[in-house]
Amino acid sequence: MMNAAIQTSLAQLQILKAKALAALRKGENYELKTELNSEYKERRKEAVRRVIANMTVGKDVSGLFTDVLKNMHTDDLEIKKLIYLYLINYAKTKPDLVILAINTFVKDAEDSNPLIRALAIRTMGCLHVQEVLDYLCDPLRRCLEDANPYVRKTAVMCVAKVYDLNRAVAEENDFVDAVRGALSDSNTMVVANSVSALAEMNAMGSGDVWRLDPATVGKLLTAVNECVEWGQIAILEALIDYTPTDEKEAENICERLLPRLQHANGGVVLTTVRLLLKYEAYVKRADLLAQFAKKMVPPLVTLLASEPEIQYVALRNINIILQRSPNLLGKEIRAFFCKYNDPIYVKYEKVDVLVRICSERNAEPLLNELKEYAKEVDVDFVRCAVMAIGRLAIRHESAAEKAIAALVELLQMKADYVVQVVVVVLGEVLRRYPQRFESVVVTLCEHADYIRESDARAVYVWALGEYSEHIDGVANLLTTAVDSLLEEDACVQLALLGAAVKFFLKQPQRGQQLVVRALQTATEKCANPDVRDRAYIYWRLLSADPAAARAVALCEKPPIWPEAANLPEPLLAELVAELGCVSSVLQKPARLFVYAKAERPGVPRGAGESGAPVDYDDGAAAPTAGIDTGDGEPELLIAL
């Protein structure tokens, strides 16, 4: 009986094992493994495609490494590219198996097809495995002297990868010198990639890999005219760090850069503007500076005819440029008027730029335009437009009266969301021009029923106390406000205490009962300690020395001035030096969110050689992009 039970159990285990194996065989990786080893070429090709598709969406297909390697010996360029992409992705996790592909790489590096030669040398550099480095040197040396420029430009990018992996190997084999020599190459694509590679190696090392001199600068300025847009950006970026030897050289460089402003690519335009702004410091001739400024205007305006995303990037950069050169775009105000179909984020930036370029000459058309924006249905954009009108009134005294008229007109629309922000803005204008627009306070009182938000009510109550002598029936208005003192927010309660005290000091007979009632309510019933303390201070001040109370409450207050909307000068200088980059869009220096080139992913920012963190005050960081996309196009931090 026991033997029969044992046999039955064994049979059941065999069945379960068979089912498990069957299930395993039905898995996708098992199926792909079978297809990769198929005798039919098309089935193997389709299997490689599926492997790459799975890898792309994040599935683990590293178990198929040896099966994928078996398919490397093929003349199909598409399959070869896919397999090389697979190897790049999994090389670091299986460095011992990558060695099996070395012979194929070396063979492909000598292929008659330049595309295959370039593909092989690029992939060997991207593997970033120390074991491959010994086998890479000879093929790389040959490719640096290849007859085909596509192979040469790929090889110079590979040198930067070798330099990053093992600096000593790159220097011992004279690869760095070879890249320096490639700056004189007859093909501009090779020159551009050489500049990118040298700049990258400079950032990795101590900065002595490559230094620009006048002769090299002349060659680069000649090559930039024939480069594709990515090559132009790479060369222009390299010129950022160059300091002209004298004024004449700076003038010559600027004049040779001016044609780049007409390029269709926004990145080229902004990088050129950045260079011109830098070299202006070395140019003394006023006529040349005026010419450079005049040439910069049309390209910047042209960027506003691009897609909304490009417009946003352009506007963020223009915002920085205007802080450096406020009068640059004063005649182009209409180019920044908002269109009906502009996305809201573009509208915000346009309004900000409009306020910056406004002057006494163009204030009237701008006020009319902003007044139309304030009548739109988007509440947030309406608030932005109304606040812009207030900023104009504060910044330009000659436009204040027209701005006040526009704000009063908007107030009379009696739209709830418009009234609240208009009242706040009017309060700021009254502070900027004290005792000048008293009639506005009467208009505020006429719309008291529509003032509901706490910030707006605080301004309204402040105006009642500040201009009480100009308001008929102010005692009744303040009495009504005191009746609801406990229902108001703290900012309104504080404003109401101040208004009651001011009214009493100006008209003691009419205001005595009102101020006593306000102070009693605040001290005995108000839960907010700040309001209670303020009420006690006022009470004791009035009781002890009315003259001192008058000096405190009715003193002449300094008018407010235009807000400091400009960035701090050191930060502005950094952002001007990074125009056209992500940092100019974020308006945050790259050092705060980009790893230094010499740092490795996974190592904390500021870590020293031992890995111990060093105390830096640079904020958060993020890894940098590489320098080669696979087609030799530099992956610069260009926002456009």
What are the DSSP calls for 187-237, one per residue? SHHHHHHHHHHHHHHHHHTTS-S----HHHHHHHHHHTTTS-HHHHHHHHH
Backbone angles phi, psi at 589, to 5 degrees: -55, 145
Residue 303 pLDDT = 92
Only one residue has tokens 């910069």, namely: 296
Dmax (CA) for the chain in angstroms is 116
Distance between CA atoms of residues 217 and 481, nearest Å:
73
Residue 358 pLDDT = 87
Residue 206 pLDDT = 63
Full-prediction pTM beyond 0.75? yes
Distance between CA atoms of residues 222 and 145, nearest Å:
23
Backbone angles phi, psi at 521, to 5 degrees: -60, -40
Q: Which of 55, 126, 46, 32 is nearest to 84 (CA)?
A: 126
Query: With 0-12 CB in 10 A as exposed, 13-18 as middle and 19+ as buried, what is 595?
Result: middle
Distance between CA atoms of residues 462 and 502, nearest Å:
10
Distance between CA atoms of residues 594 and 582, nearest Å:
10
What are the DSSP calls for 363-408, one per residue? HHHHHHHHHHHTTSS-HHHHHHHHHHHHHHHHH-GGGHHHHHHHHH
Q: Which of 297, 327, 300 is nearest to 314 (CA)?
A: 300
CA angle, 557 then 561 then 565, to 5°? 145
Query: With 0-12 CB in 10 A as exposed, 13-18 as middle and 19+ as buried, what is 448?
Result: middle
List average pLDDT for each run of 10 residues in the chain, which is 640 residues long. 58 58 58 81 86 87 83 83 87 80 87 90 86 86 92 92 88 89 90 91 77 88 89 90 88 91 90 91 88 91 92 94 88 90 94 89 89 90 93 87 91 88 91 84 88 91 88 88 89 92 88 89 90 91 86 80 74 90 90 64 36 33 34 33
* Integer-rounded Cα radius of gyration of the chain: 36
